[in-house]
Structure 1
Amino acid sequence: MTAADRPGNEPLLLGVPRAAFRPSPVFLALVALFATSGVLTWNQVGNVRLDVFLFVVSGWLVSLCLHEYAHAIVAFRAGDRSVAHRGYLTLNPLKYSHPLLSIALPVAVVLLGGIGLPGGAVWVDRHAIGGRLRHTLVSLAGPATNVVFTLVLVSAVALGAGGSGPVEFWAAVALLAFLQLTASVLNLLPVPGLDGGNMLQPWLSPPYRRMYDLFAPYGFVLLFLLLWNPQIGGAFFDAVFAVGDLLGLPPALYSYGLDLVRFWQG
């Protein structure tokens, strides 16, 4: 097929229309909301608690889109062209497999529990990807974005907090950093169905892999059961707080951010 034969004469990139790589209006709207609410929070315009709420929620959703995009683009480069046809490379969160589990539940947990629950769900055709290392890299790509976001946001807090700008703005940034930190740790846990478990799955022997695949669909349930256990949940949060302290993330600042984001309690 020539370029003239294709609908709209749209050029292809590795056999896929370039439109499949363009950021969706939904993602661009989230970025605009994140930037606008950040400016409003900085300038103390209107209801600052509502500004912080919009800033944190939109920022979290933007990071979720980029987390899933990282999975998808690595899978695409590894040979899975289906991620492009499903719209995963447009950064549109509405294209995820389970909008309720992918968007609504993580946002609710962020607001109520202050935990960056792993969200999003891009379906990857593992049969189109060869080699165990490539499979591991596809799973690693998402959590790697959370780690990068954590370091960037912590650095921003370290450079800006205590200097210029209102404390509410830096509390919101600190909360986003803490959410990224919890998401990083949770995503790297070796739980079946989560990214950390999926990183290990290709390297398991066939009997263990079959057992893993049996439990993988219930990864979220397993995660909640583990965190509900006082010993395991306590150890997890102790580890998160310890890493936050090691990075220099002020607990009082992100706690204040969590208080601000619950604007309905003010």
Structure 2
Amino acid sequence: MTFASTSQRSVENRVSPIFLVLAATFVASGWALGTGWGNAGIGVFLFVVAGWMVSLCLHEYAHARTALHGGDITIGAKGYLTLNPLKYGHVLLSFVLPVIFVIMGGIGLPGGAVYIERDRISGRLKHSLISAAGPLVNVAFAVVTLLLVGGGWFEDPDMPATTGDGGMYVHSALPSALAFLAYLQVTAAILNLLPVPGLDGYGIIEPWLSYKTRRAIAPYAPYGMLVLFALVWQSQVGQWLFDLTMRIFDLFGVDGRYMGVGYELFRFWN
């Protein structure tokens, strides 16, 4: 019985090969950008998409791991601790749509699809921490990437990024890619911490609301993310988000042009 239980826990915590492929792609494309190997645009695209997917997996993992310690012992059996994106409840919401949003508009809009059995968890603070765990991953990613770019890591004046027609950018490809990835992480953290139904920001405050209020808001939760994206995409909200993100870049001493170069390279098809 003990052996079987130990073996089951080992399987539940085993890192998925899919996640390892994503992580390997992230590292390999970063190495290619740092050494100037291959096409810079394709390299930045692979680096950013793979890095974004890795952060989304870790985002969902953080929710799951915190829920497990909070009392939901069903988390492991659902495969949430394997970092396998295919195990999450809505691959479309958690991974496909966020990647499409990045490609369409360069916005880090997160999804969320870890099904937690909330009735197994007691205490409002635990519920809030479970919701906060995911965005904190994005915050950590943002801090690390901004520190790397702001500290001048990987910048090589002798190896500026090049365009497909032989033109050159001001900055090197790898720090530019890191800056664009940092931009996605910052925007994801800001948006996901807003108290919008369906996002983690609302999940943080929801346990503290009255039962009547939660019941009234519940039907609108599935549409919160799409409405938020529409606002960011079509209104002044998007400019406010950009300005706030650039202010955060300034706090870390990161030139916004890094992000601009990274975004241009990312859209290599243009």
Structure 2 length-normalised TM:
0.89
Q: Structure 1, residues 141-191: CA drift from partner, whole Å, max 9, x if none?
A: 000111111111100001225844741111001111111100110110110
Q: Is the 8 A contact 1:181 1:244 kept in 2?
A: no
Match of 2:2 in 1: 3
Structure 1 stretches of 5 or more lacking a match?
A: none
- Correspondences of 1:34-53 after superposition (within 5 Å): 34-53=26-45
1:25 maps onto 2:17 in alignment: yes
1:249 CA drift (Å): 2.6
- Correspondences of 1:78-97 after superposition (within 5 Å): 78-97=70-89
Q: Structure 1, residues 37-79: CA drift from partner, whole Å, max 9, x if none?
A: 1111111112121111111110110011001100000000101
**What amino acid is the match of 2:34?**
W
Q: Is the 8 A contact 1:191 1:222 kept in 2?
A: no
1:252 maps onto 2:257 in alignment: yes
Measured in 2, the distance between the counterparts of 1:225 and 1:107 equals 16
Residue 131 (structure 2) aligned to one of 130, 139, 142:
139
Measured in 2, the distance between the counterparts of 1:159 and 1:148 equals 16
Structure 2 stretches of 5 or more lacking a match?
A: 160-171
Match of 1:128 in 2: 120
Structure 1 residues 109 and 225, CA gap change in structure 2 (3 angstroms) = closer
Runs of 4 or more off by more than 2 Å in structure 1?
A: 160-166, 224-249
Matched position secondary structure for 2:108 = coil
**What amino acid is the match of 1:149?**
F
Matched position secondary structure for 2:113 = coil
Structure 1 length-normalised TM:
0.91
Measured in 1, the distance between the counterparts of 2:60 and 2:195 equals 18
Q: Is the 8 A contact 2:150 2:252 kept in 1?
A: no
Q: Is the 8 A contact 1:201 1:209 kept in 2?
A: yes
Further displaced range: 64-73 or 153-162: 153-162
Measured in 2, the distance between the counterparts of 1:162 and 1:217 equals 41
RMSD: 1.8
Measured in 1, the distance between the counterparts of 2:236 and 2:43 equals 36
Match of 2:169 in 1: none
Q: How many residues align?
A: 257
1:228 CA drift (Å): 4.6
1:209 CA drift (Å): 1.4
Structure 1 residues 204 and 250, CA gap change in structure 2 (3 angstroms) = same
1:218 CA drift (Å): 1.7
Q: Structure 1, residues 97-130: CA drift from partner, whole Å, max 9, x if none?
A: 1122221211111122111111241111111111
